[in-house]
Amino acid sequence: MDPKERSIDKASQQLIQRMADLGQENAWDRLEKQMPQCGFGKQGVCCRICSMGPCRITKKAPAGVCGADADTIAARNLLRMIASGAAAHSDHGRDIAHTFKMAIDSANCDYMIKDERKLKEVAARFGIKTDGKEIKEIATELFDIVMNDFGRHEGTLSTVAAYASPARLKIWQQLGVTPRSIDREIVEIMHRTHMGVGADYKNLVKQGIRCSLADGWGGSLIATELSDILFGSPQAIRFGANLGVLDEKQVNIIVHGHEPALSDIVVAVSQEDELIKMAEEKGAEGINIAGICCTANEILMRHGIAVAGNFLQQELAVMTGAVDVMLVDVQCIMPALGSLSSCFHTKLITTSPKCKIPGAEHIGFSEDKATEVARTIVKTAIDNFVNRRGDINIPKAKEHGVAGFTTENTFYNLGGTFRGTFRPLNDGVISGRLRGAAGVVGCNNPKQTHDYCHIAMMKELIKNDVLVVSTGCGAIAAGKAGLMRPDAAAKYCGKGLREICETVGIPPVLHVGSCVDNSRILTILANIVAEGGLGEDFADLPVAGAAPEWMSEKAVSIGMYFVASGVYTVIAEPLPVLGSENLTRYLTDEIEKEVGGKWAFERDPIKAAGMMIEHIESKRDALGINEKTERKLYDMEARRELTF
Ligand code: SF4
Ligand code: MSK
């Protein structure tokens, strides 16, 4: 297949071609070999959860051996995806919480609390008194509360109560989906979907909603908030993006996966004189760290470390021949990297006991010996620099952008240094210069042309004066395409959004972090509602969400918690539920009456953007802010009141 059909990214096209020339297989090739994919799996009507099966639903056999029909089977499969996605995010949150505890308790720890201001702000949300207290005391109280959220047996998740709006809480309470604890909701999915338990698809989906809320408003939110306190809250920061950030003359280390605990220390030790000298003795000019996937986003947001690429570029990075170590933690790491890296000099190093890969070297990481492990890994890369073989093929492609936007600093960017407020954003929406906002997030998927859906959708939205916030691999796609440059506003935006971006000094696509940082989008929405003038609840807001290249179970959990938070959410590949007409209708229509949001499936990103814009306009109509107002002549006083 022509590399241009596989990716719109020129650097990727170059390396896809190189893989073909060398007879190396990549995700696109393996997808072709999988075709045609199993129709039962796609439709969600294959069940293999007991040994009377596997059962597949057909016209001839409309029920499995136990009598489960398409609705039950598709709902159970969907719930198990949500459980897995929520588990991945929440276990990330739990690991960060343990590191946080270590930083509080041990004076000799490699971690410390870097953002005391955020610690106090977060503590205050949970009702922790901070006046006159030592940082250690506040942090310990906060840890006890959030840690309890993982295993509590009854009650309401404390993070939900602390962060969600009262109107939203009421909706969840009435529906009986307020999460009690993170682990409990995941466990309960596994129980309810066991053979012979839940069979009512709507009742099953309710538990899926509850579990996804425990992810977005719980595990992911804890990961984000504690990471900011521990590693420092991101600030607007310039970064380089795409495979061109690799440097032939330096030792190149790629960090890949999701968790920042090790990569943050790798960044620090790579600047140590002793290690730089060691690299120079091997003939290198220095040590270059770059990232892939969400580990990249974590260190990009906090340190401005360049991002080499997103999910579908992990194999391509090895093909440059210039990656001396690919260091991985957890999630989104293709097992294919094991055999691919063995064909090159690249050392693939796994570090988590949860993620070992055949063909990789394992250097076990634990937070109590973080610096020691980080130094060992950097030294391994330095020693491997001299083992490079053959041609080095680093594409020239490299873009620049500004990342590091958070709920808190967006607040200040909008209001100006002295006026922290979302008022200007709400006013911009009310005046119509900004039509609304959209979250475009998520993965890559070789079923869609790499990066195309993200970029086409984002361009269509910003052209129509819709501000875009992005996380994960979608954000990396935007960075590579130049949509995170402040001057992108002049090039791609409608007049209203352009004026706003230029006045505030922000790009039209805001990088708000990694996959767990989708929780930042939830808290931004909560702030917009709290600011007033745009309704009482998230479902009233002129906003929409999308994951135009999703592939991960985490994306299903993310999508479900946005829908359950009142957000219309469009994804490209349909959820594997189409084999159940009832479940499909419920998720894409009826659920809206219950939670205010609903799912939509559309592979064409321009059409999908059109659906989002239509939804945004319908919300504007409902708010009564689409009415034409009389032209107003501004006197000096009125001008002073203008916020943009
Ligand atoms: Fe078949 Fe029912 Fe067992 Fe599923 S639970 S495999 S539908 S018998
Ligand atoms: S890394 S979950 S491919 S966004 Fe978070 Fe990218 Fe999706 Fe992984």
* Higher per-residue pLDDT: 390 or 161: 161
Atom of ligand 2 at shortest distance to CA of 310?
6
The residues facing 55 across adjacent strands are 47
pLDDT tens digits along 563-611: 999 999 999 999 999 999 999 999 999 999 999 999 999 999 999 999 9
Nearest C-alpha neighbor of 401 from the set 484, 493, 523, 282: 484
pLDDT band, residue 410 (cuts 50/70/90): confident
Residue 1: its pLDDT value, please?
A: 80
332 Cα to the center of ligand 2, angstroms:
6
Average pLDDT, stretch 463-490?
Answer: 97
Instruction: Write down the pLDDT at residue 421.
Output: 78
* Percent of the chain predicted with pLDDT > 70: 96
Paired strand residues for 436 = 466
Q: Per-domain residue ranges for the chain?
A: 3-51, 70-231, 243-387, 417-623
Above 60 in pLDDT, residue 158? yes
Report the alpha-carbon distance of residue 47 to residue 57 in Å, rounded: 9
Look at residue 627 in the predicted model and tell me its pLDDT. Answer: 73
User: pLDDT class for 643, splitting at 50, 70, 90?
Assistant: very low
Average pLDDT over residues 121-148: 97
* Helix intervals (H) in 532-604: 553-564, 581-585, 591-595
Pocket of ligand 2 contains residue 312 by CB under 6 Å: no
* pLDDT tops 60 at residue 498: yes
Name the residue of 40, 45, 51, 52 to mutate for ligand 1: max ligand atoms within 8 A of Cβ.
52
Mean pLDDT within 97-107 = 94
CB 329 within 8 A of CB 257: yes
pLDDT category of residue 483 using cuts at 50, 70 and 90: very high
Residue 616 has pLDDT above 50, yes or no: yes
CATH topology of domain 417-623: Rossmann fold (3.40.50)
Tell whether ligand 2 has an atom less than 6 A from the beta carbon of residue 45. no
Q: Is 332 in the pocket of ligand 2 (CB under 6 A)?
A: yes
Which of left, alpha, beta for 473 (phi over 0: left; psi -120 to 50: alpha)?
alpha
Q: State yes or no: pLDDT of 322 exceeds 70.
A: yes
pLDDT of residue 408: 87
Which ligand does the CA of 40 lie closest to?
Answer: 1
- State residue 416's pLDDT score: 56
**pLDDT score, position 505:** 87
Ligand located closest to 559 CA: 2
Please give the pLDDT value at position 433.
94
Cα of 623 to ligand 2 centre, how many Å?
35
Does residue 461 carry a pLDDT above 80?
yes
Residue matched to tokens 């000019």: 285
C-alpha 68 – ligand 1 centre gap (Å): 7
pLDDT surpassing 60 at residue 633 = no
Q: Averaged over 252-270, what is the pLDDT?
A: 97
> Residue 414 above 70 pLDDT?
no
- Which of 100-109, 195-204, 415-424 has the lowest average pLDDT? 415-424
Q: Is the CB of 307 under 6 A from ligand 2?
A: no
Q: Which residue puts its alpha carbon closest to atom 8 of ligand 2? A: 332
Q: In whole angstroms, how far apart are CA 583 and each of 18, 53, 66, 215, 367?
A: 44, 22, 20, 22, 44
Q: What is the DSSP letter of 63?
A: B
Same fold flag, 70-231 and 417-623? no
Integer-rounded Cα radius of gyration of the chain: 24
* Distance separating alpha carbons of residues 199 and 171, to the nearest angstrom: 24
Confidence of residue 644 (pLDDT cuts 50, 70, 90): very low
Query: What integer is the mean pLDDT of 402-415?
Result: 82
Q: Which of 284-288, 314-318, 525-529, 581-585 has the lowest mean pLDDT?
A: 525-529
Per-residue pLDDT tens over the stretch 64-88? 999 999 999 999 999 999 999 999 9
Ligand sitting nearest the alpha carbon of 55: 1
Which residue from 91, 292, 294 has its CB within 8 A of the most atoms of ligand 2, so it is best to mutate?
Answer: 294
Of 40, 193, 194, 195, which is best to mutate to test ligand 1, by the most ligand atoms within 8 angstroms of its C-beta?
195
CATH topology of domain 70-231: Substrate Binding Domain Of Dnak; Chain:A; Domain 2 (1.20.1270)
Res 247 pLDDT > 50? yes
Confidence of residue 411 (pLDDT cuts 50, 70, 90): low
Confidence of residue 430 (pLDDT cuts 50, 70, 90): very high
Cα-to-centroid distance, 75 and ligand 2 (Å): 24
pLDDT in tens, 374-402: 999 999 999 999 999 878 999 999 999 99
Q: Which residue carries 């590693």 as its tokens? A: 231
Predicted confidence (pLDDT) per residue in 354-378, tens digit: 999 999 999 999 999 999 999 999 9
Phi/psi class of residue 596: alpha, beta or left (left: φ > 0; alpha: ψ in -120 to 50)? left
- Give the distance (Å) from ligand 2 centre to CA of residue 375: 27
Ligand 1 close to Cβ of residue 160 (< 6 A): no
Query: E-strand spans in 463-607?
Result: 466-470, 509-511, 543-547, 569-571, 599-601
> To test ligand 1's pocket by mutation, which of 48, 66, 191 has the most ligand atoms within 8 angstroms of CB?
66
Mean pLDDT of the chain: 95
Residue 530, classed as helix, strand or coil, is: helix
Fold of 243-387: Rossmann fold (3.40.50)
Residue 199 beta carbon below 6 angstroms from any ligand 1 atom: no
- Which ligand neighbours the alpha carbon of 56 most closely? 1
- The size of the chain, in residues, is 644
Parallel, antiparallel or unpaired: strands 307-309 and 325-328 = unpaired
Does 294 sit in the ligand 2 pocket, CB within 6 Å?
yes
- 172-203 confidence digits (pLDDT tens): 999 999 999 999 999 999 999 999 999 999 99
What kind and span of H or E run contains 361? strand 361-362
Distance, CA 442 to ligand 2 centroid (Å)? 6
Q: Is the pLDDT reported for residue 642 higher than 50?
A: no
Closest CA relative to residue 12, chosen from 253, 255, 294, 310: 310
Which ligand 2 atom is at minimum distance from the Cα of 515? 5
